Amino acid sequence: MRKDLFDLTGKVCLVTGGSRGLGYEMVKGFASYGADVVITSRKAEACEGVAEEVRAMGRRALPVGCHVGHWGEIDALVEAAYREFGRVDVLVNNAGMSPLAPSSVDTSEDLFDKVVAVNYKGPFRLTALIGSRMAEGNGGSIINISSSGAFKPQPRFIPYAGAKAALNAMTMGFALEFGPKVRVNAIAAGAFLTDVSKAWTQESREKRDTAIGHPAQPHEIVTSALYLASDASSFTTGAILRVDGGVI
């Protein structure tokens, strides 16, 4: 495959949850294809560590501490990105949380609100702020990291599945609102061996009831993200791309 197919030279990418897991892999992937990167997560020091890696690759990087579940912090994040780079060409709403509840009746209001805030409210606000600027400017690409759980919800993570289903609906709505200059798509991720997987059983880390039969390594998200971020997907918007190993 030609490297220039995914060329991001001169582009600015903002990745939430960019200090670890899938976000970290996407940050490195974007930088390797020429992009400068805004890296944000709740821990500013972790973002700075990733930023140093990006700078060592010859690209510019801006680390910003931000809790995407907090509306006011999102406004500050956007202002910091535009102050540093003048624009954002690619936004990846990757930050999320997927705690398991003991039962639905024992799910607290606080837990429910946190899950919805991080997985849906934050991406909505960030997409509204950056997507509107993209539409007024030279356009761009927005990628929402959803989940296969939105299609196959299970009792112990109904709020999470519901928030990701809302993220899917938001993807299609914003594609219409900000098109044709802004493309908005989602990746419905399956089981990946990120930090979260450390809490899984050994069997769950090795086997899955999917067509491929096992979880993915974190780097396996990158080519899908590069496709949606770059001009390679110029006629793709409002789509939900399943990267789940073939969930049955």
Burial of 175 (0-12, 13-18, 19+ CB in 10 A): buried
> What's the pLDDT at 4?
84
- Domains parsed from the chain with CATH numbers: 3-243 (3.40.50.720)
What is the value of pTM for the model shown? 0.95
d(CA 177, CA 129): 13
With CA atoms as reference, report the closest residue to 219 among 44, 28, 78, 86.
28
> What's the pLDDT at 199?
67
Q: Catalytic: which of 146, 147, 230, 233?
A: 146
Question: Rounded mean pLDDT of 233-238?
Answer: 97
d(CA 17, CA 22): 8
Q: Catalytic: which of 11, 28, 121, 164?
A: 164
> What's the pLDDT at 194?
85
pLDDT, tens digit, 9 for 90 and up, residues 63-104: 999 999 999 999 999 999 999 999 999 999 999 998 888 899
> What's the pLDDT at 100?
84
Buried b (16+ CB within 10 A) or exposed e, 34-67: bbbbbbbbbeeebbbebbeebeeeebebbbbbbb
State yes or no: is 98 an active-site residue. Answer: no
Q: What is the mean pLDDT of the chain?
A: 94
Strands 12-16 and 240-243: unpaired
User: The tokens of 41 are what?
Assistant: 């997560």
> What's the pLDDT at 209?
84
State yes or no: is 28 an active-site residue. Answer: no
Q: In what order do the strands lie in the sheet with 36-41?
A: 61-65, 36-41, 12-16, 90-93, 140-147, 182-189, 240-243
Question: Rounded mean pLDDT of 11-23?
Answer: 97
- Kindly report the number of other CB atoms within 10 A of residue 210's CB atom: 17
pLDDT, tens digit, 9 for 90 and up, residues 99-140: 888 899 999 999 999 999 999 999 999 999 999 999 999 999
- The pLDDT-based confidence of 226 (bands split at 50, 70, 90) is very high
Q: Can you tell me which residue has the tokens 């020091």?
A: 45
> What's the pLDDT at 5?
87
Q: Catalytic: which of 160, 224, 227, 230?
A: 160
pLDDT, tens digit, 9 for 90 and up, residues 164-181: 999 999 999 999 999 999
Flag the least confident range among 33-47, 138-152, 165-179, 190-204.
Answer: 190-204
Cβ contact 68:120 at 8 Å = no
